[in-house]
Structure 1
Amino acid sequence: MKFTELPTPCYLLDENRLVQNLAVLRDVARRTGAKILLAQKAFSMFSVYPLIREYLAGTTASGLYEARLGHEEFGGETHVYAPAYAEGEFREILEYADHIVFNSFTQWKAYGSLARAAGKSCGLRLNPECSTQPSDHAMYDPCGPDSRLGITIENFQPELLDGIEGFHFHTLCEQNSDDLVRTVAAFEQNFGQYMDGLKWINLGGGHHITRADYDVETLVHCIDYLQKKYKVQVYLEPGEAVVLNAGYLVATVLEVMHNHKDIAILDTSAACHMPDVLEVPYRPPVYRGGEPG
């Protein structure tokens, strides 16, 4: 079926391109021993989870329903992080999660004993306060001023680390491995002294690993360095990199009107179907008259 024959609006996934991305990620995992997880907040088309789980180790979730989706439809490891947990939902999350990451020592004190009693591996999200975001992404910068995401060194309480098995940080967005190197250096400066005895470190997402110009060798070196120095399991949780350039939103132009310039009226909506176009903003490539080139 050609693009012009599809009912619109619809999302179309290119399975061949998806597999190409997954092969790159699996190669990194095999070379380093790192475990790579699918960040479901970026992609949760569970109809292709059976394919993706042939390449990746599990999923990450930002709440109860993503945790359930990953556990039931994907399998493997299920990791959960949220800035704060609601007590009722947290007890149900324990049915699905393997790793649970807490955003503060307050959350750890509130729910850590429940998680440990359920046999979960518990970690803390840390804020290395190393901003690598471009200026147009400032509102999404996890290391920006007044960020709610992660524990800063000023608020770190080493006396409360008993039972913590891992650290997590997520600071990148569509970035190359040089920004990861900078972040790891900042992380080590602030928190490296507390790594002894931990089992894992999660480097978060935002790694644009499947982009053509991404420096995979630097990523491999960074993972090897952390695993050798601290004797920990390294996790990565890319989202966009899993499906980069592997899908399309197919729409129909219903009318073209003119008001100082030509304006196309579509049967789709950026607000509903491509919110990042408005929020970040992104400027997606647009193909017209049939198949993308």
Structure 2
Amino acid sequence: MNTTLLKHLTQTGETDIPSPCFILEEARLRRNLELIDAVQQAAGVTIILALKGFSMYSAFPLVREYLSGATASSLNEIKLVNDYMGVQAHTYIPAYQDASFDEVVSRSSHLTFNSWTQWERFKDRTVGKPVSCGIRVNPQYSEVATDMYNPCVPGSRLGATRNQLPDLLPEGLEGIHFHTLCENDSFTLERTLDALESRFGGLLHQAKWVNFGGGHLMTREGYDTNHLIGILTAFREKYKVDVILEPGSAIAWQTGILISTVLDVFNSQGIDVAILDTSFAAHMPDTLEMPYKPRILNSYHEPVAGKPTYRLGGMTCLAGDFMGDYSFDKPLDVGDKIVFDDMIHYTMVKTSTFNGVNLPSIGVWKENKSFQLVKTFGYESFKDRL
């Protein structure tokens, strides 16, 4: 985290940063984009933004300095790509709808079908349109441990298995799309490609493009980008295809925080509890879904004997809206700031107004070390969802 921002957050007196608030660090986003761009240039591939992981459109002008496009999984995301990235979308939706399909096609450069039945149903409506169609495949191999995020579990609804596809790609079907990674490394990708090629090698040779989906966490410390570049280059040259990657987490990895404030501190049956002005259930649902315990700046991730220790809870009335215990160097008090680290990717996109809680504000810590408040939310945001 930027030390100037940390000082700004902890300064005494009034601050221009509201609470709760998501804060994107512009310099860190640029650093990630520079690394990602270096990979795509060296490997001769195209890397695009996955809106399902990062949809903060106020940051899209910076993203467009490095990435040529974005992938969307709904008509609303497609419109966001069109309006704020200024390009047609790479689109994949698990099931297209009759009423909106023609608009989806008109707003997309690439269109991936989830199943052979979807392709058969809608293929005639893509004829003569300036869109390149593909199909998502299921290589039946994934190293994702959590079933909720594993698209290759038995009975998965995501992608066609080899027995569901013909030996020849029909006219108009030009691409192969797979997505089986989740914050994985290049060695996992290498093993995944072995499974993909063993099942779909014949179709890969017929394709014009192959979309590797997301989950390539190349901006995480220790990720072997040279190994990734080698894999991508070899695949592209072997099959003579355009290779596309669409990472979600990698774009905004470690680029921002969620700042919150302690509202109450009390003892509950021998356990010290601190209630915050944010919510794990409504504002950080990934922490409960995955689940994982988020990092808090200037705290101990696990309880330390002899140090002030608290069970942190959200402000909704859901009994399970709490996180495990954290220790601090000094006791918490009402008004203290709690700063959750790495809360930009797959967090902002999942927030809700459950229980009528306000959504966190959104801001940017600019490269010139100033804070810009992008958006605040209130009653209208809650009402408009109901």
What TM-score do the two structures reach when normalised by structure 2? 0.73
Counterpart of 2:279 in structure 1 is: 269
- Asked whether the equivalents of residues 266 and 272 of structure 2 are also in contact (C-alpha less than 8 Å), the reply is yes
Q: Cα deviation per residue 1:68-87 (whole Å; 9 max; x = unaligned)?
A: 10111112451010110111
In the alignment, structure 1 residue 56 sits paired with structure 2 residue 67: yes
Amino acid at match of 1:162: E
In the alignment, structure 1 residue 144 sits paired with structure 2 residue 153: yes
In the alignment, structure 1 residue 247 sits paired with structure 2 residue 253: no
Q: 1:224 aligns with which of 224, 228, 233?
A: 233
Q: 1:283 aligns with which of 281, 293, 304?
A: 293
Aligned ranges for residues 41-52 of structure 1 at < 5 Å? 41-52=52-63
| C-alpha separation in 1, matches of 2:165 and 2:136 | 11
SS of alignment partner, residue 179 of structure 1: helix
Q: Cα deviation per residue 1:140-169 (whole Å; 9 max; x = unaligned)?
A: 211111111000112223356321111000
- Asked whether the equivalents of residues 265 and 272 of structure 2 are also in contact (C-alpha less than 8 Å), the reply is yes
In the alignment, structure 1 residue 168 sits paired with structure 2 residue 177: yes
Counterpart of 1:190 in structure 2 is: 199
- Asked whether the equivalents of residues 116 and 122 of structure 1 are also in contact (C-alpha less than 8 Å), the reply is no
SS of alignment partner, residue 38 of structure 2: helix
| C-alpha separation in 2, matches of 1:106 and 1:156 | 10
**Structure richer in strand, relative to its length:** 2
Q: Cα deviation per residue 1:214-259 (whole Å; 9 max; x = unaligned)?
A: 1111211111111111110100000110010101111101011221
SS of alignment partner, residue 252 of structure 1: strand
**Structure richer in helix, relative to its length:** 1
| C-alpha separation in 2, matches of 1:77 and 1:119 | 11
| C-alpha separation in 2, matches of 1:148 and 1:212 | 33
| C-alpha separation in 2, matches of 1:89 and 1:292 | 39
- Asked whether the equivalents of residues 37 and 236 of structure 1 are also in contact (C-alpha less than 8 Å), the reply is yes
Aligned ranges for residues 45-84 of structure 1 at < 5 Å? 45-84=56-95
- Asked whether the equivalents of residues 132 and 172 of structure 1 are also in contact (C-alpha less than 8 Å), the reply is yes
Are residues 261 and 79 of structure 1, via their aligned partners in 2, closer, same or farther at CA, if it must alter by over 3 Å?
same
CA RMSD of aligned residues (A): 1.6
Counterpart of 1:92 in structure 2 is: 103
Q: CA deviation at 1:49?
A: 0.2
- Asked whether the equivalents of residues 93 and 112 of structure 2 are also in contact (C-alpha less than 8 Å), the reply is yes
Aligned-pair identity (%): 44
Q: 2:186 aligns with which of 167, 177, 184?
A: 177
Counterpart of 2:376 in structure 1 is: none
Are residues 165 and 71 of structure 1, via their aligned partners in 2, closer, same or farther at CA, if it must alter by over 3 Å?
same
Which piece of structure 1 moves more, 159-168 or 189-198?
159-168
Q: CA deviation at 1:130?
A: 0.6
- Asked whether the equivalents of residues 259 and 340 of structure 2 are also in contact (C-alpha less than 8 Å), the reply is no
Q: CA deviation at 1:7?
A: 1.1
SS of alignment partner, residue 165 of structure 1: strand
Q: CA deviation at 1:113?
A: 1.9
In the alignment, structure 1 residue 10 sits paired with structure 2 residue 21: yes
Q: Cα deviation per residue 1:70-117 (whole Å; 9 max; x = unaligned)?
A: 111112451010110111121211221110000011100111221233
In the alignment, structure 1 residue 39 sits paired with structure 2 residue 50: yes
In the alignment, structure 1 residue 201 sits paired with structure 2 residue 210: yes
Between the two structures, name the one with larger relative contact order (CA 8 Å, sep ≥ 6): 1
- Asked whether the equivalents of residues 256 and 262 of structure 1 are also in contact (C-alpha less than 8 Å), the reply is yes
Amino acid at match of 1:68: K
| Structure 1, gaps ≥5 residues long | none
Structure 1 runs of 4+ with >4 Å offset: 288-293
> For this pair of structures, how many residues does the alignment match?
291
In the alignment, structure 1 residue 234 sits paired with structure 2 residue 243: yes
What TM-score do the two structures reach when normalised by structure 1? 0.95
| C-alpha separation in 2, matches of 1:54 and 1:182 | 32
